[in-house]
Chain A
């Protein structure tokens, strides 16, 4: 274990593309559980999944548009994906207020729209050079300097916004009526929150891929939830577990030549299992 970490570290210092991958992974390991903590306690885990699928259709759209004109090609497809996910986030928020007591119903509606659109668009783009496997399962080694810059900026926006709106987000998540009575602008904040989810997904897309984004957002938090008594503890433990998953997962993937995204998520699952077992033994 330590040996493979050391080996991995040596490789990171030697190869810049590995360094980019590691930095991108570690940044994701911070913002995914940060937003994930709020996502989980609001019982919106599945929204992250829906938005990830919608983003996929946006990326496919980006490829298609890029093939038609130079102007469109100047913008990388992930930006189209982010834009489409932002619009979807807004739609979900609207649908959620329309179906107040069935707010999770908004998710399958948006999700099926996203998946349907993705399949059609990717079908249309078949002749193009689209890294479909990378989109679905992640391709952390493809992180370029430009990607890294985009990831850093998006992550900064997420972290700063959460820090600024921390007490409002927490109050809304815990008791939305009381929060509104205290003058918290619920609609605005809920929209900002959905937009932050979309940003986190755009950050995580290359790391673990569409199919596993929600795993990275929820698994570390699910493990933290078993241990945390306070919300601060939930955030801290969530970040610790996510960073551990990223580091150990990347090192293991490098050493044994495994798929990085999948390995990271498997480590997160191992952590969750370890926490559950440890708790059970503590109780017995």
Chain B
């Protein structure tokens, strides 16, 4: 994929530690994201990936370490419209909630609009545009609960995109999505990256696909195990995975090309 701009830092996390209770979930984790960079965040279940994203987004308190967005320290950063986020639990909303796809995507404009301002004609157009971008425009009047998991996922991506963010943070967006839709999803990712110049952080368990599609890989298991180029990750994958995931853990990754099917032990 296209090279990113190494002189333009979007997100910088340094020595981030976090614990829910007594035990540390994150220990001195650091990472850097540049403009236009595609970063894959990997690690076993419970390794702290979602927690790291939430701490960096200010959804969980940052007790130790520093986080800067566009050079601004997290506690002073207010420009959240520049960041789009799709959480791992985005699609686990109350399915009986009476909102249409259009209404859900419109919610994504709140950070841009600010309080008291109501969305107008321009905003309706933006919503439609975002829905067209993810291929869900025909569903805009449908109830969100009446869509399939993959379709809901695309609506939430549209909600994250509608405010024209510069960074997109996606926490396991392809879980529960069939292979065909997954291929479509990565095509969409590439389109967002190319057409909008987005920097993207993508959490995934699919090491094969991630290391092929992303520029950079960050591998954590409470601590940082790898932060570097995807090609470097591919070269040393066996060793990194063995250290980060543990010897006894068997990780199976599948590549999209059946010839690349690989098993790491």
Residues of A within 8 A of B78 (CB): 183
Residues A167 and B98 in contact, CB atoms below 8 Å apart: no
Residues B143 and A174 in contact, CB atoms below 8 Å apart: no
Residues B98 and A171 in contact, CB atoms below 8 Å apart: no
* Partner of A41 from B59, B97, B103 at Cβ < 8 Å: B97
Residues of A within 8 A of B47 (CB): none
Residues of B within 8 A of A166 (CB): 118
A105 adjacent to chain B (CB < 8 Å): no
Q: Which residues of A contact B (CB under 8 A)?
A: 41, 43, 164-168, 170-171, 173-175, 177-185, 225, 228-234
* Partner of B107 from A165, A179, A228, A232 at Cβ < 8 Å: A179
CB of A183, distance to nearest CB on chain B (Å): 5
Q: Which residues of B contact A (CB under 8 A)?
A: 57-59, 78, 80-81, 83, 85, 87, 89-90, 93-94, 96-100, 102-104, 106-108, 110-111, 113-116, 118-119, 141-143, 159
Docked pose: A165 CA to B118 CA in angstroms: 9
Docked pose: A103 CA to B103 CA in angstroms: 26
CB of B215, distance to nearest CB on chain A (Å): 25
Residues B87 and A178 in contact, CB atoms below 8 Å apart: yes
Residues B98 and A225 in contact, CB atoms below 8 Å apart: yes
Residues of A within 8 A of B142 (CB): 229
CB of A176, distance to nearest CB on chain B (Å): 10
Docked pose: A125 CA to B89 CA in angstroms: 52
The interface centre, meaning the residue of B98, B107, B115, B119 with most chain A CB atoms within 10 A of its CB, is B98
Docked pose: A252 CA to B39 CA in angstroms: 67
Docked pose: A179 CA to B109 CA in angstroms: 10
Starting from the known contacts A183-B110, A229-B100, 13 additional A-B residue pairs (CB-CB under 8 Å) come to: A43-B94, A165-B116, A166-B118, A167-B106, A168-B110, A170-B107, A174-B99, A182-B110, A182-B111, A229-B141, A230-B100, A231-B99, A234-B98
What are 27 A-B pairs at a CB distance below 8 A? A43-B94, A166-B118, A167-B106, A167-B107, A167-B110, A170-B99, A170-B103, A171-B107, A171-B110, A174-B93, A174-B97, A174-B104, A175-B93, A178-B90, A181-B58, A181-B80, A183-B78, A183-B114, A184-B110, A185-B115, A225-B96, A225-B98, A229-B143, A230-B99, A231-B103, A233-B98, A234-B98
Residues B80 and A183 in contact, CB atoms below 8 Å apart: yes
CB of B75, distance to nearest CB on chain A (Å): 14
CB of B153, distance to nearest CB on chain A (Å): 14
Residues of A within 8 A of B98 (CB): 41, 225, 228-231, 233-234
CB of B16, distance to nearest CB on chain A (Å): 18
